Structure 1
Amino acid sequence: MATVKFILQSKKSNSPIYARFSVGVNQVYKRKTREIVNPENWNPKKGSVIQRTALSKDDLQRQNELAGTLNKLEIFILEQYGKRIETEVINGDWLEEVITAYYSGGRKFEQLDFIENYLEHYKTNILPFRKYKGKPITFRTKQKQHTIIEKFQDFLKTEKKRLKVSDYNIAVGNRFVIFLREQYLSDNTVGKYLKYTKTIFKDAKIENILVNEQLSEIRGFTTDTPTPYLKVEELEKIQKLLIVNERLEQTRDWLIIGCYTGQRASDLFRMTPEKIININGREFINLSQKKTKTPVLVPIHKEVKKILNKREGNFPPQYSDNLESSKTIFNNNLKKICKLAGIDRQEYGRIYDEVKKHYVFGNYPMHDLVSSHICRRTFATMNYSKIPTAIIMSVTGHKTETEFLGYIGIDNSTLSEQMYSYWEQLDNEEDKKDLHVKNVY
């Protein structure tokens, strides 16, 4: 039977009180509490404060408070022992943790039951060590999760009560979605954030924290996104455009390189002559994509070669050592070039409203919608149905054909229409064969 007795190990006037916890033979542990007492006011046999009556009002209050605290601490220690889980090791460290928990508002795993505490614990003790497919997650992924955690912590401030991890169910997830939409985030971003919360809370089980049975039913979502791209004739107009501004000429060269290599800005602006390799007399740009770590070997198109030749084997100069700054300059210059080239067809997309401080979706002139991402989409769309999809994907770095088709905005109806084109092509080939046979006879 487990017992708790309080003892003194000193005769000083302010002696610390120790908790002596016994659970059996050779299983007796002692740890210091945060209480002190004068040995003259202590009953060592009973292990308690001597109840004196001839005391001043203040001394009597202190005496009763100490007796009450020790009584509650004894109950707390025995309760924690009774609620212990099989994996808990009962020793002096366990006793010290329980005593600390009594004064700090609960044991570690009990405090982590509350979402705000768990999220801080997750950031410090779980996120830095997360892996994906056996490899540590990227710095960028960690950044995204930090952003999501900050959003969720802001959301918690809007709730009417303090939520526990076990409270996170479909209804709370729906309220989180509403909260995010009120910040004018795109639905794809909202869906992605919701999906990540499931990943974050699922790891609470590692700490033996109870999660809601509805957690597995919380799923992220995606919506159709605008997929603007440059048509071949528009790209040709830009290539023929007379440009006298050196900065805009630099941007046009990067745009052409991007549209004929199909890379994201994070990879586009890392291209250097040193990354060009020669295989069997053909030149390729050898890259490991920054976002996905996917190795790609990008064939150098003749239009890219023209730019390299013009610049004596070099790529255009970099805008900045900072990628985000480079993208901003590139995007602004792209809009200017496309406007000069008269790329003004109406397309559905989004532009950033500087007054409202959020993106607004609608129909806008194409030159207002262009950004660095148009390079990769233009490459994929321009080559789709002309080059086998698997070959295009080997350059863009898409993992699945479904992902690729969604990226360029091809749906089932488009694919079904293309079936007729292939049938017509096959029929034409059969007609040519029949004609050839008739001519032979």
Structure 2
Amino acid sequence: MATIRFIVKRKAELMPIYLRLRHGKNVDLSKDTSFKVLPEDWNLKKQQPKGTTEQGKIIALNLSKLKTSLLSNFNEAIENGISITPEWLADQINIIQNRGTSEQQEKGNLLTYTDYYINYLPTHVQRSGKRGVSKNTIKKFVTLKARLVDLQEAKNRKYNVSDINPDFINLFDAFLRKNNYSDNYIGTLSINLKTMCKNARKDGLNVSPNLDNITGVKEDTEKIILTFKEIEQIKKTSYKREALSNARDWLIIGCFTGQRVSDLLKLTKDNIVFKSGLQLIELTQIKTGKKISLPLHPEVKEILDKREGYFPYKISDVKFNLYIKEVCKLAGIDQLINGSKINPKTKRKEKGVYPKYELITSHTCRRSFASNYYGDIPTPLLMSATGHATEKKFLIYIGKSATDQAQQLAEYWTKETLEAKQETQLKIIKKAN
């Protein structure tokens, strides 16, 4: 018959309690239970906590439950011919105490799981059915791991997936802020960490019950767009360098298609199709896997006609971002505005007041399209072009608040009332005749 006793192996301010399992001559195993007790609360003769303090009573109760469950599991294992090994004992103690198996515990280490998640992302199946994610998405989690490593080294401790809760986020936030990272950067890391831990929950790992309460702070940043007037300025500017003329054409195409730079700069003549008498641009977005069909805008058609039906020649994202700043500078897009840009010395974004052309990036194209046409084109149609999944995300993207929406609705009602009055007046005049 199996016997279980609890013992302490050394004197300490807090003594670790070990479980000893014996059965016949072949089984004599011991394992740390993870419980600790004060020396004065340990009954040496009975080899168990005295239970004279509240904490001692709790430990005694947990050890009693552990003993009962372990004996039951042991008998079941013997009946099924399962070998009783140190690994079996460790896993049983972890499972009974809801800590998972040894393998799960190792996977539950925060950095270990982050590595696992990064390696998993290329096979992740999105809601659209597309397998894998973009390189940029993977890069975000590689960056997250780097910052978690920094935190662990600074705090001289290891964290588990189950440690990720709002308190941890506050700690992470304070650490990153101390190192001069921006609110947007910190907010993105926090949300990505939450996303990763929600996946860990699906994998059966223990996570904090407060995981879903995590939020990521975001600062209000200037939404940099090019207005129709500014786009016209750029269009009419002559550029001596072909590289700038080419980048200018890509910039204009971006402002009238609303696509991410990863999709924009990959457009070719093959993306132009004719359907139902319409000339369309068709593509599958790299990030979302969504299939997009856009009617060819006259401004885009003008560029293609100028280039004998071809899109501008290929350039890298890096060069595009570099060239369009020069394009806008030469076009006189130089008014001073609030914004943030990378300091080349610190490699961090810094807020300030800069000439607008310095703040123009590839992202300006997509945001300009969405912002310029918002209110003129029904939002669902704009979302079908940009590929935004929800109206909430779309409105946040272009910086529209509930007040902006209310104002737009008020303008619509005013317009509707005026049209109704005008129609009434026309009917009265017609009757008078």
2:398 aligned with 1:408: yes
* Alignment-derived partner of residue 432 in structure 1: 422
1:345/1:85 CA distance change after superposition, 3 Å:
farther
Distance in 2, matches of 1:293 and 1:172, equals 34
* Alignment-derived partner of residue 82 in structure 1: 70
* Alignment-derived partner of residue 195 in structure 1: 191
* Alignment-derived partner of residue 336 in structure 2: 346
The equivalences for 1:260-275 within 5 A come to 260-275=256-271
1:210/1:430 CA distance change after superposition, 3 Å:
closer
User: Does the 8 Å CA contact 1:201/1:211 hold for their aligned counterparts?
Assistant: yes
Tell me the secondary structure at the aligned position of residue 157 of structure 1.
helix
* Residue of 359, 362, 384 corresponding to 1:369: 359
* Alignment-derived partner of residue 157 in structure 1: 153
* Residue of 125, 142, 149 corresponding to 1:146: 142
* Alignment-derived partner of residue 170 in structure 1: 166
Distance in 1, matches of 2:122 and 2:298, equals 44
Task: Compute the displacement of 1:114 (Å).
Answer: 4.3
Distance in 2, matches of 1:399 and 1:219, equals 20
User: Does the 8 Å CA contact 2:130/2:289 hold for their aligned counterparts?
Assistant: no
Distance in 2, matches of 1:191 and 1:85, equals 45
* Residue of 236, 241, 253 corresponding to 1:240: 236
1:412/1:198 CA distance change after superposition, 3 Å:
closer
Instruction: Write the letter of the residue equivalent to 1:422.
Output: Y
Tell me the secondary structure at the aligned position of residue 283 of structure 1.
strand
* Alignment-derived partner of residue 103 in structure 2: 108
User: Does the 8 Å CA contact 1:77/1:99 hold for their aligned counterparts?
Assistant: no
Instruction: Write the letter of the residue equivalent to 2:288.
Output: T
Deviations, residues 11-42 of structure 1 (Å, cap 9, x unaligned): xxxxxxxxxx9979xxxxxxxxxxxxxxxxxx
* Residue of 284, 288, 295 corresponding to 1:292: 288
Q: Which runs of 5+ in 2 are unaligned?
A: 5-20, 34-65, 92-100
1:428/1:213 CA distance change after superposition, 3 Å:
closer
**TM (normalized to structure 2)?**
0.74
1:183/1:292 CA distance change after superposition, 3 Å:
farther
Task: Compute the displacement of 1:332 (Å).
Answer: 1.3
User: Does the 8 Å CA contact 1:184/1:359 hold for their aligned counterparts?
Assistant: no
2:248 aligned with 1:258: no
Tell me the secondary structure at the aligned position of residue 386 of structure 1.
coil
Instruction: Write the letter of the residue equivalent to 1:226.
Output: E
Task: Compute the displacement of 1:413 (Å).
Answer: 2.4
User: Does the 8 Å CA contact 1:195/1:221 hold for their aligned counterparts?
Assistant: no
User: Does the 8 Å CA contact 1:238/1:338 hold for their aligned counterparts?
Assistant: yes
* Alignment-derived partner of residue 387 in structure 1: 377
Distance in 2, matches of 1:202 and 1:425, equals 47
1:405/1:317 CA distance change after superposition, 3 Å:
same
Distance in 1, matches of 2:228 and 2:197, equals 47
User: Does the 8 Å CA contact 1:257/1:304 hold for their aligned counterparts?
Assistant: yes
Task: Compute the displacement of 1:224 (Å).
Answer: 2.8
Distance in 2, matches of 1:203 and 1:84, equals 33
Task: Compute the displacement of 1:98 (Å).
Answer: 4.9
Q: Which has the larger radius of gyration?
A: 1
The equivalences for 1:63-142 within 5 A come to 74-76=29-31, 82=70, 95=85, 97-98=87-88, 107-112=102-107, 114-120=109-115, 130-133=124-127, 136-140=131-135, 141-142=137-138
User: Does the 8 Å CA contact 2:134/2:287 hold for their aligned counterparts?
Assistant: no
Instruction: Write the letter of the residue equivalent to 1:179.
Output: F
* Alignment-derived partner of residue 31 in structure 1: none
Q: Which runs of 5+ in 1 are unaligned?
A: 5-20, 25-45, 48-70, 320-325
Deviations, residues 265-293 of structure 1 (Å, cap 9, x unaligned): 11111111111110122200101111111
Distance in 1, matches of 2:211 and 2:366, equals 36
Tell me the secondary structure at the aligned position of residue 244 of structure 1.
coil
1:405/1:383 CA distance change after superposition, 3 Å:
same
